[in-house]
Homo-oligomer: A and B are copies of this chain.
């Protein structure tokens, strides 16, 4: 450990600030990276160039471990702490290990939740950098996202104002097409060397996008929890400012660009993905005359290149360290409901090569295993081609008691004492939540380790009951985790279990093939993972499924947009409900990210602030220059 372990455990920020961090150059050297492979960002973090992948391409991959959890209480069950803890445990045992996790949004850091660098003696440091700006990747995503948004309203304003021949002349003043315009020509099936070649009709098709303002799904983003921006009206100025229309803001990490960045393989792939982003549709006919409307992309707006330019540093993963001084990548932070909720493919790929065949890479999936792990397998592994060696499912006695029918757990309110006293009956009733998650993981053919995030109030009898149920459901092992209080040493038991599980054979398979229809895919996930009897679609969802099928998008994997607080769409329903049907209210397409997302209920994409936001306590200590109050 790069910090002395104390008892009682001090606050997260006190521990983090006491750490004697290694210079990042030293961390990099330890994994075989030279200065040429890095872009330093201060002395304790660095971006890693993507050509490292080429350099180590012949080296076999390390073991690949995904950390997920049972259906959590609103307090969370310590998934990030355990992810870092497994890594620190492996490092404690002398293993080569790399941790790959998401960068948190600054919104919740200042709002309700506080930071997300882990906690206690299982943290990524520097904790301030982790939680604040990091190396600016989220801001870069925001800049690219909002540039596209501005391009949309600007185009609406200009098309409203100018004739097609003026538009053509303004867009091609030298009578030449840009490469981006040539892509649109190709999409439209128009052969033309120069704009002056075009017939009036083709000129109209080429230069008048004719965007339907009511179809626009591309909102704006900001990395602040700002509920007043959820629903807004823009364009109240004169005609040239753009049309008056209703739209809104999401938190930046909910941007499709964040999802695409986390799934792309390199800069060329990212450039393609930016071009493919669909922002809405045209008002009438056009390309393929699908359902009489045509999808409008970022490429059509000639802005996908500039968006990619804004992301050319953000694509490089950020190297940091754990409190064991072991290497960690913190890269991308896509939302876990409307997006995949997993850190980047690129970071995992580089880490797997850097660790090599006798090493370990530990990554984390957002939300519970029904959300994050399912997407880890069906989306992230499908895109990356990587095969995981082991899944760690984090459970707590507290959460299992809640699933057994315990009183409501509410953040900020005192816990009912039933959660801190032995209660085998309640626990046993709730165990099925754990066993369903274990069974679900086994369906993907990957060995499962259950990590019990042990609280001091958990009794030996309670732990025994959990162990027995998990083993019966097919887990390879059940191990205690005490990383919050003890750091690497507290993660050793779990690390041993993970090492053993990684030696087991893997028979990895996706839950559904690409070529399955959209409805079959939805129904597969709903029946196999959530265990509903079937699916009910709204008319809107049905129409979308038809549209996306007609548009040739049915090969895309699904990203189910569902609450993480229940196997169902209703966060109040705990345990493992049976005999219910999943309502699908709408289906949307993130073509740049490369998935369709069916909506199981309403998803919040912009958090709010409480009456006393976390920022109330955050300040600079002007004597020391240190941050205080960050949690």
Tell me which of A196-204, A217-225, A391-399 binds B: A217-225
Does B271 lie within 8 Å of A242, measured CB to CB? Answer: no
Bound CA span A243–B229, Å: 11
A114 CB to nearest chain B CB (Å): 12
Tell me which of A38-46, A53-61, A276-284, A587-595 binds B: A38-46
Chain B residues with CB below 8 A from A267, complex form: 620, 622, 625
Interface centre among A139, A178, A229 (most CB of B within 10 A): A229
Please tell me if A147 contacts chain B, counting CB pairs below 8 Å: yes
Number of residues in A with C-beta < 8 Å to the partner? 85
Please tell me if A7 contacts chain B, counting CB pairs below 8 Å: no
Chain B residues with CB below 8 A from A321, complex form: none
- Known contacts A43-B39, A43-B40, A173-B612, A146 near B618 by CB under 8 Å: no
Chain B residues with CB below 8 A from A175, complex form: none
Chain B residues with CB below 8 A from A236, complex form: 230-233, 246
Please tell me if A506 contacts chain B, counting CB pairs below 8 Å: no
Please tell me if A462 contacts chain B, counting CB pairs below 8 Å: no
Does A271 lie within 8 Å of B620, measured CB to CB? Answer: yes
Partner of A154, one of B149, B227, B303, B618: B227
Please tell me if A226 contacts chain B, counting CB pairs below 8 Å: yes
- Known contacts A136-B139, A616-B302, A154 near B609 by CB under 8 Å: yes
Does A622 lie within 8 Å of B268, measured CB to CB? Answer: yes
Does B308 lie within 8 Å of A608, measured CB to CB? Answer: no
Please tell me if A110 contacts chain B, counting CB pairs below 8 Å: yes
Interface residues of A in 164-205 (CB under 8 A from B): 166-167, 170-171, 173, 178-180
Bound CA span A304–B442, Å: 50
Give the oligomeric copy count. 2
Partner of A227, one of B42, B142, B241, B617: B241
Please tell me if A357 contacts chain B, counting CB pairs below 8 Å: no
- Known contacts A132-B309, A133-B143, A619-B305, A237 near B241 by CB under 8 Å: no
Chain B residues with CB below 8 A from A76, complex form: none
Does B146 lie within 8 Å of A139, measured CB to CB? Answer: no
Bound CA span A225–B149, Å: 10
Partner of A237, one of B227, B242, B305: B227
Please tell me if A613 contacts chain B, counting CB pairs below 8 Å: yes
* A597-623 vs B, Cβ < 8 Å mask (1 yes, 0 no): 000000000001111110111111010
* A229-261 vs B, Cβ < 8 Å mask (1 yes, 0 no): 111111111001111001000000000000000
Does B227 lie within 8 Å of A310, measured CB to CB? Answer: no
Partner of A611, one of B158, B228, B630: B158
Does B608 lie within 8 Å of A309, measured CB to CB? Answer: no
Please tell me if A306 contacts chain B, counting CB pairs below 8 Å: yes
Does A151 lie within 8 Å of B609, measured CB to CB? Answer: yes
Bound CA span A425–B218, Å: 56
Chain B residues with CB below 8 A from A225, complex form: 150
Does B150 lie within 8 Å of A139, measured CB to CB? Answer: no
Please tell me if A381 contacts chain B, counting CB pairs below 8 Å: no
- Known contacts A171-B616, A611-B170, A627-B312, A230 near B241 by CB under 8 Å: yes
Bound CA span A171–B610, Å: 10
Please tell me if A212 contacts chain B, counting CB pairs below 8 Å: no
Chain B residues with CB below 8 A from A27, complex form: none
A244 CB to nearest chain B CB (Å): 9
Bound CA span A308–B227, Å: 22
Bound CA span A615–B610, Å: 39
A363 CB to nearest chain B CB (Å): 26
Does A612 lie within 8 Å of B170, measured CB to CB? Answer: yes
Bound CA span A611–B240, Å: 10
Chain B residues with CB below 8 A from A147, complex form: 110, 224, 615
14 pairs, A vs B, C-beta closer than 8 Å: A41-B42, A42-B47, A133-B136, A136-B136, A150-B224, A151-B609, A153-B226, A158-B611, A180-B616, A230-B236, A232-B234, A271-B622, A308-B620, A309-B620
Taking A267-B625, A303-B613, A303-B616 as given, write out 16 further A-B residue pairs in contact, using a Cβ cutoff of 8 Å, ordered by the A residue number: A39-B42, A41-B42, A139-B142, A147-B224, A151-B609, A170-B611, A178-B616, A232-B234, A232-B235, A233-B233, A271-B619, A303-B615, A305-B615, A306-B618, A308-B620, A309-B618
